[in-house]
Amino acid sequence: MQDWMLTAIFLANAIWFAMAFNAFYLRRKVFGKVMVPVREDRQNSAYDALVESGRFMGGFNLALSALNVMLVFNLGGFETSSQWAVLLVFNALAHGSQFAGNIPMALQNRRGEGLWPVFKGVMLLIFVLDFTLMIANGALAVVLLV
């Protein structure tokens, strides 16, 4: 039973991180428009820098996706549950840092403020899925350690 759970969670991580690579790196201009929804606010070098920073964020997400793909095809590569738990906690932290990074903006949105909308469209999907994958990775790590 443990192998199918590990395969499922690592595959979900790989897909999500690959989607982030696509959004940040390959489609960074579209994502820039999500982050800066008001057209008039995009007419400056700071916006251009934001768009180009997508390559940096996308590169990390590509590496995380590749790591999770390698883990799917290397389930026999680790001997103990605690070794798997380390990798799961790493993934939980990666997703959790993304989720936590959106919390201040989500709180601002509740007051009718904020630079980007967390509770609409693609940002809502990111917010919910990062939270879900953080919990899933963390929960499976706890199960393996107990």
pLDDT at 65 over 90: yes
For residues 101-110, b (16+ Cβ closer than 10 Å) or e, as one string? ebeebbeebe
Reported as a single tens digit per residue, the pLDDT across 9-58 is 999 999 999 999 999 999 999 999 988 989 999 999 999 999 999 999 99
Q: 35 is in which domain, residue-wise?
A: 2-145
For residues 7-32, b (16+ Cβ closer than 10 Å) or e, as one string? eebbebbbebbbebbbbbbeebeebb
pLDDT at 139 over 90: yes
At residue 1, the pLDDT reads 47
Indicate the pTM of the whole model. Answer: 0.89
pLDDT at 95 over 70: yes
Q: How far apart are CA 20 and CA 65, in angstroms?
A: 9
Q: Residue 112: left if φ>0, alpha if ψ -120 to 50, beta else—which one? A: left
How confident is the model over 67-83, as a mean pLDDT? Answer: 91
Number of domains observed in the structure of the chain:
1
Chain-wide mean pLDDT for the chain? Answer: 94
pLDDT at 89 over 70: yes
At residue 97, the pLDDT reads 95
